[in-house]
Structure 1
Amino acid sequence: MTVRGTGRGRRLGLTRQKVIAAAVTLIDRDGADAFSLRKLAVELDVENMSLYNHVPNKDALLDGVAETLLAEVEFPQNDTDGWQDRIRAHAAAFRTQAKRHPKAFPLVLTRPTCSPAALRALRSTLATLTDLRLTPEEGVHVLRSYTAFMIGSIMRELGHAIYLGSLDDQQLRQQGRDIAATGDPVLIAAAPHLAAGDHDTEFHYGLELLIAGLAARAGVPYDGGPARP
């Protein structure tokens, strides 16, 4: 039996890479929740069934999008810097890619994968820690703590997690009244700072907190970090 539309995709030179690239563009424009294979087929001007020559289903395509975006992260290759600067450069590269694809990158953070790109990212993270001569077990603990910070910070910055500094004016006024009504001095002192937020400052602070804590645990000096943004 001939499936209608499959030959058309081949005649147009459709490949898995082109399908994934088009999916990235579509998700970056409309968001992952609005994405469908039908919309992608319209975008590519092919029949729906043409896509199945290259991806078996939507989940596989979304995995491909996540793998492609992760593979494009330009992790630093410079091994001459100290471990603290290597962690900063690694985090900056990951965050830069996330900001390039604010609607599509959450797929990288939420879809587990054992692809070559994922293993490369895993190794590059562990490689930043080699100067500390951690045991493999402790290295994995650090890896998981760092990953949790990166995922949480980036999801929050991209608008996919709660951020306390993102309230509108009316919400802020209500929050101020609610805090004042508690009479709690701890909450009252924090209130002005809860009402303001800057993603660059918060990311810098959280990353430096992690690096400083790791330096203290490893018994090595903390370099103080770069100037705050």
Structure 2
Amino acid sequence: MKAQGTGRGRRLGLTRDKVIAAAVTMIDRDGPDSFSLRKLATELGVEAMSLYNHVPNKEALLDGVAEALLAEVDFSASDTGPWQDRVRAHATAFRATALRHPKAFPLVLTRPTKSPAALETIRSALAGFTDLGLPPEEAVHALRSYAAYIVGTIMRELGHAISLGTWDPGHAQERIEEITATGDPLLTAVAPYLAVGDHDAEFDYGIELLVAGLAARVEVPGDGGPRQA
């Protein structure tokens, strides 16, 4: 039985790439929670069944959106220069794309993908560690620690992870008072700093901490002897 609307979809030149691009636009605008194939079909001016010529279901379409966003990240700057600069450039490029797509990018961070774009993300991250001379197993440990930081901090910045303070200076004093009201001396001492945050400063601090940790790991490995980078 012929699916209703498929002829119109073909007449309009509908393709998988166009369907995914339209989905990215919609999710960027409205967020993923309100997204549906029916709404996407309306946006494209076709019957919902037309979409099934290009994606088997909503989950596959969301995977496609994640892959498209990941493919948008420009990692070219992370392939040259000292390893520290390559790590910084990789992280900066990833975050920059996330901030261009604050509503859609969480799909990249929460949906496992085996796409070529995902493999390129991994390859370019590993390229930042090559000069360290890490054995393959340890390079993967470093990669996963790096990924955990990147994913966690971006999810927090986009409002999808725990935040101990406020990012709105207008509410800083209220948050300071809430923290100091606990009476805990450790919390009270850090309250003015814990109550507010700066996404740029926090992101840069974490990357520099990771870079410094990797450098120290290479210079002074666990057995106390030097490791050649």
TM-score, scaled relative to structure 1: 0.90
Counterpart CA distance in 2 for 1:173 and 1:129 is 42
- Quick one: structure 1 residues 79 and 30, their matched pair in 2 at CA, closer, same or farther if it must change by over 3 Å? closer
- Report the equivalent of 1:198: 198
Query: Which is worse superposed, 78-87 or 126-135?
Result: 78-87
Query: Which is worse superposed, 70-79 or 143-152?
Result: 70-79
- Report the equivalent of 2:55: 55
Contact 1:16–1:54, Cα closer than 8 Å, also in 2: yes
TM-score, scaled relative to structure 2: 0.90
Query: Which is worse superposed, 155-164 or 48-57?
Result: 155-164
Q: Percent identity?
A: 71
1:180 Cα deviation from its structure 2 partner: 3.0
Query: Which is worse superposed, 72-81 or 121-130?
Result: 72-81
1:72 Cα deviation from its structure 2 partner: 1.1
- Report the equivalent of 1:224: none
Counterpart CA distance in 2 for 1:176 and 1:192 is 6
Counterpart CA distance in 2 for 1:84 and 1:117 is 23
Contact 1:23–1:65, Cα closer than 8 Å, also in 2: yes
2:200 partner letter: D
- Report the equivalent of 2:147: 147
1:215 counterpart = 2:202: no
1:40 partner letter: L
Contact 2:86–2:128, Cα closer than 8 Å, also in 1: yes
1:194 Cα deviation from its structure 2 partner: 1.4
1:139 match: secondary structure: helix
Root-mean-square deviation (Å): 1.8
Contact 1:22–1:44, Cα closer than 8 Å, also in 2: yes
- Quick one: structure 1 residues 11 and 79, their matched pair in 2 at CA, closer, same or farther if it must change by over 3 Å? closer
1:78 Cα deviation from its structure 2 partner: 5.9
1:170 Cα deviation from its structure 2 partner: 9.3
1:113 partner letter: T
- Report the equivalent of 1:157: 157
1:32 match: secondary structure: coil
- Quick one: structure 1 residues 54 and 80, their matched pair in 2 at CA, closer, same or farther if it must change by over 3 Å? closer
1:165 Cα deviation from its structure 2 partner: 2.8
Counterpart CA distance in 2 for 1:127 and 1:170 is 42
Counterpart CA distance in 1 for 2:172 and 2:79 is 46
1:187 partner letter: L
Matches within 5 A, 1:19-168: 19-77=19-77, 79-166=79-166
Unmatched 5+ residue regions in structure 2? Answer: 221-229
Aligned residues: 220
Counterpart CA distance in 1 for 2:71 and 2:149 is 20
- Quick one: structure 1 residues 141 and 176, their matched pair in 2 at CA, closer, same or farther if it must change by over 3 Å? same
Unmatched 5+ residue regions in structure 1? Answer: 221-229
Counterpart CA distance in 1 for 2:21 and 2:114 is 20
Contact 1:76–1:86, Cα closer than 8 Å, also in 2: no
1:3 Cα deviation from its structure 2 partner: 2.1
1:81 match: secondary structure: coil
Contact 1:70–1:117, Cα closer than 8 Å, also in 2: yes
1:150 Cα deviation from its structure 2 partner: 0.4
